[in-house]
Structure formats: structure tokens, C-alpha cells
């Protein structure tokens, strides 16, 4: 009889038997832990305001959103930033967006600092399969795409050549897939995004997963299938507002597909769905028309909801609109939907923040925050969801994010990201503490009791001057605390990574300083005089020789620029009428480098002011 059999018969276990038992026990523990961890779906919509639900805005029909609002836990004093990229940065970092390196929407200022520990990374480290589909809006150079920031499977809506574009292409939208351009997908963006979300759920239903589903709807230009619009026109709604309502109904139906998928795969009871809008609503949309080829084009015209329409869309009467420091811009709703885990209720007394979502998800996932990453500004909502413990609402400073303001220093360079980037008296901002909010609207101050007066009708600064002075002091102290963070208003550093033969991509809008007359728009840069200079910071991962191509449009005749990268430099004649311009080859060391552009010559100095510099592509040649 073999020794192993003899020992087993005598109740003994050999070394190999112990190892086998250990493996079985470990597998059992891992399986049990995986089963105990909930799946999490985080759904964010774009420009959906506090009252953009069917139960608040008749005759609009959003039965799936309404079901989540009525049968889930609904947070009605939930605050975001006033615009998209700031809220998304706060969501993905758990920190006030102004601390993260995100300074604006566009202008090369959307992406959180590369040392921020994003939510996708935290969920990966907690053992989750992670997916992202839809609008990313947090930086578009290669290293900033979601596939490089914590998502195993990522389908962001990004255009191939000018990555800042495409996110609001509601019909025939362009996609990237895991860092590479994947092409245009025919049909309605909201449906294609949902298709990919469902595919991720079904592929990962056997293990805990985290899905970030970021719809671009209902951001303008409002657009939906004609039959959805006509339904509301037939009920007496004007055509533009009917388009918005139809867009919301189409979005709601896609949300229903996601919820139905959970039921069909028998994972609804262990899946927590969170739903929120990224900021307040806007009353204005661009007008589109469909061409013979089926594509929709802008007409150059706009429509703003009239007073009656806006009152219907904003029945709570909150003041102003998105991209301001007023209540309508920053107050939203958060829905947490999992009836098997959380009983329906409405949380109305406690103020909660978009930064609170991050620690909530990480707690559900059993994650641990590494000691070397920045401190969170949010706090977990789990105790509120379970109806346990006291909730201490945090003070909250936020601001609309306009074009970064440059600051000229003694070296004659104008720096884009400094303590002067957000000029408080030229922007609209607010600070919440206790029952009060103080608003600084481009230097015009006011104070409100936001509990008694959520419509912000009665300015109290003259009635209770001591309170106003105290709130002003706290406002400035909060901003000073933001400025003390090392990532606040930090220069964007784009990463050049050409592993696996890929082509590196850098965005010109990420320039950190300029000399002479230059300008930066939402997606590109311009020269306005000879010898004007623009500089980028680039982290080169691999030393070597690179072939560089500049994408520039509107080039006048006889235009010559100097391109410098690291210790290399070339003078190049740009070709009128072309959009891709070879910059020659440069030799780069590994590590942080400066890329510089100087306008040397042009036959049309006025015309060169309309020459847009968009992006760089780099290929490693050795």
C-alpha cells in the first residue's frame, strides 16, 4: 500500500495534502469574498438637472429614473461642481476638483494630475473588474485615457484627430477602445454606449465588477429620433423643448435596458446602481439639421427655453443655470438603487457631496487607500444609507471653471497654471457651511440661508453682517487650503508612451507657458506675433529618436516655425493647405522634457492668428 494512502487511512495528511487543503480553503475564501462584494454601476448623465425627471417635469416620461428615485435611496441635497470636467474629476478622485490639477473644461486643463489615485485604480486594487463607457472628459493625451487610469475595458467617446471633439456627437459617434481609435459606430450614441455597457456586465457577471457608465445625454445640442420629439409636440410642447424631453425619454429607455440586464442575469440583488447628473441644467441648445447623408450638422442657430418652458423644467425655482456659482448649477440628486440591500427613503436634511461617492464605493469593495496618495475630501455614505450614526456635513467650496487666466512673471513668460488661474472676482463661486451659502458672483457678494431659502431670493448680508463676515472668512480660508495642495493648478505633464509600436499623442492645448502674443482655446493654440513661443511639458517613458508630426490648420503661406524637444531642435516650413506637418526627428532622453514652438516667419501675420495648432503625434524610429 502506498505511504500516502496508508497515512490518509490513519487520519494523517502529508505535505502535499496540506498544500492541497490550503489551496482549497484559499479558493473557498476568495470565492466567498467575491460573492460578498457587490457589483457596482455608477451612472452619470450630462447636464441633467435637479428636476429633469418625469416625476418632476410633466409630461416627460422617465419611468426607470422615477423607479430608482422612488424605490431607492434618494439624496436631495447632493452637490456637484457647476460644470462637467470639474465634477468628473471630483468623482474620480474623491477630492475637490480644484485640488486635483483639473482647472477648467477644455483648455488642456481637464485631466487630474497623473499622481492622483483614480477610482478605477482603487477598484482594481480591491479586486474588481473595471469598465468605463461613454464620456470621459478627464484629459485626452494617451496617458490620460481611461484605459490607462484604472479601467480594464474602456470605450470612451473620442474623435480620432481632435480628441476634444466627438463627445456630443449624439448620432454616429466616434469611439476609442482601450487606448486606440475604434472608429465611428452607426446609430444613436446613447444606444451604442448602452450596448457596450451591457456587454461588459454580461462578460463579468461571475466576478465583482465596477462599471462607470457616463452618458453624454442630455447635453446640448438636443437630439433624439423624430418619433420621440413628435410625441411631446403632440402634447403642446414647443419643438426644441420637445426634443429635450424626447432625448430624456430615449435615455431613460436605455437605462431600463441596463436594469433589465441585471434581472435577466440574476445579479440585481447584489448590484448597487448609483445615478447622478454632473451639474445643473442649461436652457440653451444649438440647432441641428439632418443632411442627405444622414449626418446631423450645426446650423449656427441657437434656441433658449422661454420663461414658461424654463419654469416647467426648473419647478424648484433654483437660481441661475449650469456654469455659475448658484444653486441651480451645483445642486443635484444622487440615487442609490438596490432594493435588496437598501430600503426606499429620501435624504433631505443632510448635505452630501460628489466627493462622497469615491469612499463609499471603496468601502463597499473592501479597498484600502494607499498611504502615499493624497487625502480624500469625501466621506463614505454607507452610514447614511444604513440609517446609522450622525452625519457631519462638510463645508464646500466650488466655482465655475472658465478659461485659465495666465500670469506674467519677471522672466516675461506668462504661466497658465498658478494661484492666479482662477480669479475669484471674475468668476462665479460659492461656499457652503451649515445652513448657509455665500456666493461671490464676479465680485458681487451675497448670503443665503439655503435651508429656508433654497431659491436664494433673500440676500442676508446686511441683515446679519457678522454671519456674512464669518462666511467670507471661511470662503477665503477654504480657497487658501485648496491652493496649498501640491496638485492644485499644477502644470499639465503629458506622458509620451510608444510601447507596443503605438504612436504617441500629445495635445497642444496643454501648453503650460507662453512668451509673446499667443492664445489658447478649448482645443488648440494660436500664435499672434513673430517670435511668440509656446511650451509643453512631456514625460518621455523611452529614450530614443522620434519622428514628430504637428497637426495644424489654417496655415498661411511662407510660415516657418522652430520646434525644440529636449536638446534637439528643427526649423520647419509648414505647408499651406495641409493639416499634418512633419517636424523632423528629435532625440529625447527619458524623463520630463520641454517641447517648445516658436513662430519665425509668415507671409500673413494677420492670417497666422487663425492658424490652429492642435496636436502632436510621435513615432519611435530607434
Question: Per-residue confidence at 164, pLDDT binned at 50, 70, 90?
Answer: confident
Is a pLDDT exceeding 90 seen at residue 553?
yes
Is a pLDDT exceeding 70 seen at residue 231?
yes
Is a pLDDT exceeding 80 seen at residue 30?
no
Residue 622: predicted pLDDT: 86
What is the arithmetic mean of pLDDT over 70-91?
Answer: 98
* Of 295 and 379, the one with more pLDDT: 379
Residue 17: predicted pLDDT: 43
- Residue 185, classed as helix, strand or coil, is strand
* Of 225 and 161, the one with more pLDDT: 225
At 596-615, the pLDDT tens digits run 999 999 999 999 999 999 99
Taking the chain, what is the end-to-end CA distance rounded to the nearest angstrom? Answer: 65
At 504-527, the pLDDT tens digits run 999 999 999 999 999 999 889 999
What is the arithmetic mean of pLDDT over 282-286?
Answer: 98
Please check whether residue 424 is in contact with residue 479, taking contact to mean a CB–CB distance below 8 angstroms: yes
Locus of grid cell 418652458: 309
How far, in Å, CA of 615 to CA of 139, rounded?
13
Is a pLDDT exceeding 60 seen at residue 29?
no
Residue 10: predicted pLDDT: 39
What is the arithmetic mean of pLDDT over 152-165?
Answer: 93
Cell of 91: 468623482
At 299-353, the pLDDT tens digits run 999 999 999 999 999 999 999 999 999 999 999 999 999 999 999 999 999 999 9
Question: Per-residue confidence at 11, pLDDT binned at 50, 70, 90?
Answer: very low
How far, in Å, CA of 493 to CA of 510, rounded?
8
Four-way CATH pick for 39-392: 2.60.40.420, 3.40.720.10, 3.40.50.300, 3.20.20.150: 3.40.720.10
CB burial class (10 A; 0-12, 13-18, 19+) of residue 125? middle
Is a pLDDT exceeding 90 seen at residue 280?
yes
Residue 20: predicted pLDDT: 40
Please check whether residue 536 is in contact with residue 613, taking contact to mean a CB–CB distance below 8 angstroms: no
Is a pLDDT exceeding 50 seen at residue 13?
no
Is a pLDDT exceeding 80 seen at residue 122?
yes
Q: Report residue 288: phi and psi, to 5°.
A: -110, 160
Is a pLDDT exceeding 80 seen at residue 2?
no
CATH of domain 399-483: 3.30.1120.10
Is a pLDDT exceeding 80 seen at residue 220?
yes
CA 209 from chain center: how many Å?
Answer: 20
How far, in Å, CA of 116 to CA of 95, rounded?
10
Please check whether residue 459 is in contact with residue 467, taking contact to mean a CB–CB distance below 8 angstroms: no
How far, in Å, CA of 167 to CA of 275, rounded?
20
Percent of the chain with pLDDT over 90: 89
Q: Which distant-in-sequence residues (6+ apart) come within 8 Å of 497 by Cβ?
A: 142, 143, 504, 541, 542
Is the pTM higher than 0.85?
yes
What is the arithmetic mean of pLDDT over 143-156?
Answer: 96
Residue 165: predicted pLDDT: 86
Question: Per-residue confidence at 499, pLDDT binned at 50, 70, 90?
Answer: confident
CB burial class (10 A; 0-12, 13-18, 19+) of residue 238? middle
At 168-216, the pLDDT tens digits run 999 999 999 999 999 999 999 999 999 999 999 999 999 999 999 999 9
What is the arithmetic mean of pLDDT over 74-98?
Answer: 98
Q: How many residues does the chain have?
A: 622
Residue 21: predicted pLDDT: 37
Is a pLDDT exceeding 80 seen at residue 584?
yes
At 437-473, the pLDDT tens digits run 999 999 999 999 999 999 999 999 999 999 999 999 9
- Long-range residue pairs from 234-241, CB within 8 A, at least 24 positions apart, any chain: 235/59, 237/59, 238/306, 238/309, 240/285, 240/287, 240/303, 240/305, 241/305, 241/309, 241/312, 241/313
The DSSP-derived string for 554-607 is: SPPTTEEEEEEETTEEEEEEEPTT-SEEEEEEEEE-SEEEEEEEEEEE-S-HHH
Please check whether residue 100 is in contact with residue 119, taking contact to mean a CB–CB distance below 8 angstroms: no
How far, in Å, CA of 61 to CA of 125, rounded?
39
Residue 35: predicted pLDDT: 55
Residue 19: predicted pLDDT: 40
Domain ranges of the chain: 1-36, 39-392, 399-483, 493-620
How far, in Å, CA of 284 to CA of 240, rounded?
10
Is a pLDDT exceeding 90 seen at residue 279?
yes
Is a pLDDT exceeding 70 seen at residue 3?
no
CA dihedral in degrees (88, 135, 503, 566; nearest 10)? Answer: -30
Peptide bond preceding 59: is omega within 30 degrees of 0, i.e. cis?
yes
Average of per-residue pLDDT values in the chain: 93
Residue 465: predicted pLDDT: 98
At 45-64, the pLDDT tens digits run 999 999 999 999 999 999 99
Is a pLDDT exceeding 80 seen at residue 6?
no
Q: Which distant-in-sequence residues (6+ apart) come within 8 Å of 8 by Cβ?
A: 14, 17
Q: At the topology level of CATH, where does 493-620 sit? A: Jelly Rolls (2.60.120)
Amino acid at each position: 500500500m502506498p505511504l500516502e494512502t496508508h497515512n490518509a487511512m490513519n487520519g494523517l495528511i502529508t505535505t502535499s495534502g496540506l498544500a492541497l487543503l490550503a489551496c482549497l480553503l484559499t479558493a473557498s475564501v476568495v470565492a466567498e469574498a467575491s460573492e460578498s462584494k457587490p457589483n457596482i454601476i455608477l451612472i452619470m448623465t450630462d447636464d441633467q438637472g435637479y428636476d429633469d425627471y418625469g416625476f418632476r417635469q410633466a409630461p416627460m416620461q422617465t419611468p426607470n429614473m422615477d423607479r430608482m428615485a422612488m424605490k431607492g435611496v434618494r439624496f436631495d441635497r447632493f452637490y456637484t461642481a457647476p460644470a462637467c470636467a470639474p465634477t468628473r474629476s471630483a468623482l474620480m478622485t474623491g477630492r475637490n476638483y480644484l485640488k486635483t490639477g483639473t482647472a477648467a473644461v477644455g483648455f488642456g486643463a481637464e485631466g487630474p494630475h497623473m499622481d492622483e489615485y483614480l477610482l478605477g485604480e482603487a477598484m482594481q486594487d480591491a479586486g474588481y473588474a473595471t469598465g468605463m463607457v461613454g464620456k470621459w472628459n478627464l484629459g485626452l493625451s494617451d496617458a490620460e485615457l481611461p484605459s490607462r487610469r484604472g479601467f480594464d475595458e474602456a470605450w470612451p467617446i473620442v474623435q480620432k484627430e481632435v480628441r476634444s471633439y466627438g463627445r456630443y456627437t449624439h448620432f454616429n459617434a466616434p469611439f476609442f477602445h482601450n487606448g486606440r481609435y475604434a472608429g465611428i459606430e452607426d446609430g444613436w450614441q446613447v444606444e451604442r454606449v448602452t450596448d457596450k455597457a451591457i456587454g461588459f456586465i454580461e462578460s463579468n457577471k461571475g466576478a465583482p465588477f465596477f462599471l462607470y457608465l457616463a452618458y453624454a445625454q442630455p447635453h446640448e445640442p438636443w437630439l433624439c429620433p423624430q418619433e420621440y420629439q413628435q410625441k411631446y409636440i403632440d402634447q403642446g410642447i414647443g419643438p426644441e423643448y420637445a426634443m429635450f424631453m424626447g432625448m430624456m425619454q430615449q435615455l431613460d429607455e436605455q437605462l431600463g435596458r441596463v436594469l433589465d440586464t441585471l434581472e435577466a442575469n440574476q445579479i440585481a440583488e447584489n448590484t448597487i446602481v448609483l445615478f447622478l447628473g454632473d451639474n445643473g441644467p442649461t436652457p440653451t441648445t444649438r440647432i441641428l439639421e439632418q443632411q442627405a447623408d444622414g449626418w446631423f450638422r450645426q446650423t449656427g442657430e441657437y434656441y433658449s427655453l422661454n420663461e414658461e418652458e424654463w419654469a416647467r423644467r426648473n419647478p424648484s425655482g433654483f437660481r441661475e443655470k449650469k456654469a455659475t456659482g448658484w444653486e441651480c448649477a451645483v445642486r443635484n440628486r444622487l440615487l442609490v438603487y438596490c432594493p435588496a440591500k437598501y430600503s426606499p427613503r429620501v435624504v433631505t436634511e443632510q448635505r452630501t457631496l460628489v466627493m462622497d461617492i469615491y469612499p463609499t464605493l471603496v468601502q463597499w469593495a473592501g479597498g484600502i487607500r494607499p498611504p502615499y496618495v493624497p487625502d480624500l475630501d469625501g466621506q463614505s455614505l454607507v452610514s447614511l444609507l444604513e440609517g446609522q450614526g450622525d452625519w457631519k456635513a462638510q463645508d464646500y467650496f466650488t466655482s465655475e471653471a472658465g478659461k485659465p487666466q495666465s500670469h506674467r512673471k519677471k522672466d516675461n513668460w506668462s504661466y497658465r497654471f498658478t494661484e492666479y488661474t482662477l480669479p475669484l472676482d471674475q468668476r462665479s463661486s460659492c461656499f457652503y457651511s451649515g445652513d448657509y451659502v455665500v456666493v461671490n458672483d464676479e465680485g458681487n457678494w451675497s448670503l443665503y440661508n439655503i435651508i429656508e431659502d433654497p431659491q436664494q431670493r433673500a440676500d442676508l448680508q446686511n441683515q446679519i453682517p457678522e454671519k456674512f463676515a464669518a462666511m467670507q472668512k471661511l470662503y477665503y480660508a477654504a480657497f487658501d487650503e485648496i491652493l496649498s495642495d501640491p496638485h492644485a493648478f499644477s502644470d499639465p505633464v503629458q506622458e509620451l508612451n510608444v510601447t507596443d509600436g503605438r504612436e504617441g499623442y500629445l495635445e497642444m492645448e496643454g501648453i503650460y507657458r507662453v512668451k509673446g502674443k499667443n492664445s489658447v482655446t478649448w482645443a488648440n493654440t494660436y500664435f499672434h506675433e513673430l517670435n511668440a513661443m509656446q511650451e509643453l511639458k512631456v514625460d518621455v517613458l523611452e529614450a530614443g529618436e522620434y519622428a514628430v508630426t504637428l497637426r495644424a490648420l489654417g496655415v498661411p503661406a511662407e510660415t516657418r516655425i522652430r520646434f525644440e524637444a529636449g536638446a534637439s531642435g528643427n526649423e520647419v516650413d509648414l505647408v499651406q493647405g495641409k493639416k499634418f506637418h512633419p517636424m523632423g526627428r528629435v532625440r529625447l532622453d527619458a524623463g520630463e522634457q520641454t517641447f517648445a514652438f516658436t513662430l519665425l516667419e509668415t507671409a500673413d501675420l494677420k492670417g497666422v492668428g487663425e492658424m490652429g495648432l492642435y496636436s502632436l503625434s510621435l513615432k519611435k524610429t530607434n
